[in-house]
């Protein structure tokens, strides 16, 4: 993927930010730094209806015993933060970028709002991000593409820079209110095995050569959107395809005959489109 000068400048700036002096990007990253980052997050919570962070995040106990916090055995640094389904309201402070050993970050099903701080680009060990079902605004900024170890994420917007994440196997961007075309870069992420864009208002067509760029895809779930145009005629090279979900869209034309060559395909959902030759699918896919 070709890098634009502005994108490279952004990444360089953020790398400098991660090692700069200051209260957020401190030189000494240790147990105390992790505690300070988590306390900053707690202070940015405006509503904690179950008093989880109020009572379970006490400075009189080790942060490794705080609810939702997991520490590594060797260094006792925070490696996972899971605040999902806690009904929290608030914003994410830049201090969270100091959790330099963080591998997994789950904030699913809360009421976090605002934008993502650019300091999160310092979390170079991140492998999984789940921000689904919140009230974030804006798009994911360019620095998201610098998280080179990222393998799975559930987010709320689709930036072009996502195409640079060449280790991501699972991508869930579903049940939001996304509109417009899907960046071509998404269909070029060769490591993807699951791509779920289900339940949005996305439109446009599917590249005819999608299988050439997604050779490992097993479950493309594009259901309940506004995709249109013909189905890709070259789906047969998707040798790993297990499930194809294209229902409730605006696809037109006939169903490719070579779809019957997908020997691994177990389930196909194409109802509620404008397709013809439905009987062909029933005869070809057993």
Q: Which residues contact 60 (CB under 8 A, 6 or more apart)?
A: none
Residues 47-71 pLDDT 10s: 999 999 989 999 999 999 999 999 9
Average pLDDT, stretch 12-22?
51
Residues 252-270 pLDDT 10s: 998 887 787 888 899 999 9
Asked if 237 and 214 count as a contact pair (C-beta separation under 8 A), the reply is no
**What is the pLDDT, as a whole number, of residue 250?**
95
Residues 162-219 pLDDT 10s: 666 777 888 887 776 677 888 787 888 888 999 988 888 889 998 888 888 898 999 9
The domain locations on the chain are 16-153, 169-286
For CA atoms 219, 224, 228, 230, give the dihedral sign: positive
Do the first three CATH levels of 16-153 and 169-286 match, i.e. the same topology? yes
CATH of domain 16-153: 3.80.10.10
pLDDT for residue 160 is more than 90: no
Asked if 102 and 81 count as a contact pair (C-beta separation under 8 A), the reply is yes
Average pLDDT, stretch 135-159?
68
Domain 169-286: which CATH number of 3.80.10.10, 3.30.2020.30, 3.40.50.11810, 3.40.50.720: 3.80.10.10
Burial track 186-223 (b if 16+ CB lie within 10 A, e otherwise):
bbbbebbbbbbbbbbebbeebbeebbebbebbbbbbbb
Mean pLDDT of the chain, nearest integer: 81
Residues 93-108 pLDDT 10s: 999 999 999 999 999 8
- The SS3 of residue 172 is strand
């Amino acid at each position: 993927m070709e890098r634009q000068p502005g994108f490279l400048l952004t990444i360089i700036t953020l790398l400098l930010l991660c090692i700069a002096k200051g209260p957020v990007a401190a030189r000494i990253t240790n147990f105390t730094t992790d505690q300070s980052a988590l306390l900053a997050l707690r202070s940015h919570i405006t509503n904690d209806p179950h008093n989880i962070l109020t009572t379970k995040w006490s400075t009189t106990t080790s942060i490794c015993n705080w609810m939702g916090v997991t520490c590594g055995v060797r260094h006792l640094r925070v490696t996972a933060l899971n605040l999902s389904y806690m009904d929290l309201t608030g914003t994410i402070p830049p201090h969270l970028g100091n959790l330099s050993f963080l591998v997994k970050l789950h904030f699913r099903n809360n009421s976090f709002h605002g934008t993502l701080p650019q300091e999160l680009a310092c979390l170079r060990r991140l492998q999984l991000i789940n921000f689904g079902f919140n009230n974030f605004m804006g798009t994911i900024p360019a620095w998201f593409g610098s998280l080179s170890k990222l393998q799975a994420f559930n987010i709320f917007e689709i930036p072009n820079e996502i195409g640079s994440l060449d280790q991501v196997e699972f991508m869930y961007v579903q049940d939001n209110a996304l509109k417009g075309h899907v960046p071509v870069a998404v269909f070029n992420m060769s490591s993807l095995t699951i791509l779920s864009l289900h339940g949005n208002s996305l439109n446009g067509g599917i590249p005819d050569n999608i299988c050439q760029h997604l050779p490992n895809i097993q479950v493309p779930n594009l259901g309940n959107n506004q995709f249109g145009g013909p189905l890709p005629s070259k789906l047969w090279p998707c040798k790993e395809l297990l499930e194809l979900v294209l229902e409730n869209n605006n696809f037109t034309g006939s169903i490719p005959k070579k779809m019957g060559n997908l020997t691994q395909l177990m389930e196909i959902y194409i109802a509620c489109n404008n397709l013809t030759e439905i009987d062909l699918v029933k005869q070809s896919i057993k």
